[in-house]
Structure 1
Amino acid sequence: MRGHRQPSAPLAVVLGVLLTVSACGTELGDPGGGAATQTSTSSATVEEVLGTGIVMQRSADASPELCVGPVAESMPPQCRGPVLAGEFSWEDVEARQQGEVRWTDETYHGVGTYSPDGGEQGTFTLTRPLTTEQPQGYRPLRVGEG
């Protein structure tokens, strides 16, 4: 047949790679078993980690943060941490408030993923609800790691 060409070998290889990459993205591990869960994507592996600290919101228009470092014992307390994303509600924790500042006195544990992007100290996205009981089998969150 005239005018009909077979795709060149390099084009066929590129198409095959694109199809293979688009099929990636499976979850490894048992999310219900307490072991660390990893999600594999074409460019990186995202590991669930354990964030431990108090929750603080500096003002009504600020995002809540999980303060994973030192806490200044002023009134209200002062601390820094990654922005807390995912399914979080102040209704799920015991909180105090002074002016626009809201915080927890109790330490909470959250399982989630950390991204150094978003906020001064990154973003910690919950994959499980905050709890006062420390889950086992997760590497601790280290702010600044990517």
Structure 2
Amino acid sequence: MSILDWFDQDKLDAAQFKRDAKRRQAEEAERRIKGLEPTYGPTPGSGNGGATKIALLNMLSTSDLDQVLADCAPALTQKIYKMAAQADFLQDQCKELKDYDELKGRYAELQQHYAELQDEYKKLVETLAASAGKQDARQ
């Protein structure tokens, strides 16, 4: 092995994996010699892992998972409820803004029609005044 191989992380990882595998094999061989059952997975912890698993499964099998989440993670639950309330508020504001934009568009149309009607009214008044002037001139 050259000096450059020491800096190749993949080769270092592979060598570490081989060392770990040999160590596990040696431990299992020692257990077999002593007549113990082979071990699989992580080494046992405090011994109450089974009880914790059972309690967790019982808790998750309830019909009220919201209550389970509220009991297990109250800070997270509060944040979720705050985010939900904020989302509802933002949806309401978005709806109000949409309604406002729609009304603003209708108002602009009405303003335009009103301006057109005023122009037509002025033309009508001028036409009536002109025709009234012609009738006075005939008499």
Q: Please report the TM-score for the alignment, with normalisation by the length of structure 2.
A: 0.22
Q: TM-score, normalised by structure 1?
A: 0.21
Q: Which structure is larger by alpha-carbon Rg, 1 or 2?
A: 2
Indicate the structure with greater helix content: 2
The structure that is strand-richer by fraction is 1
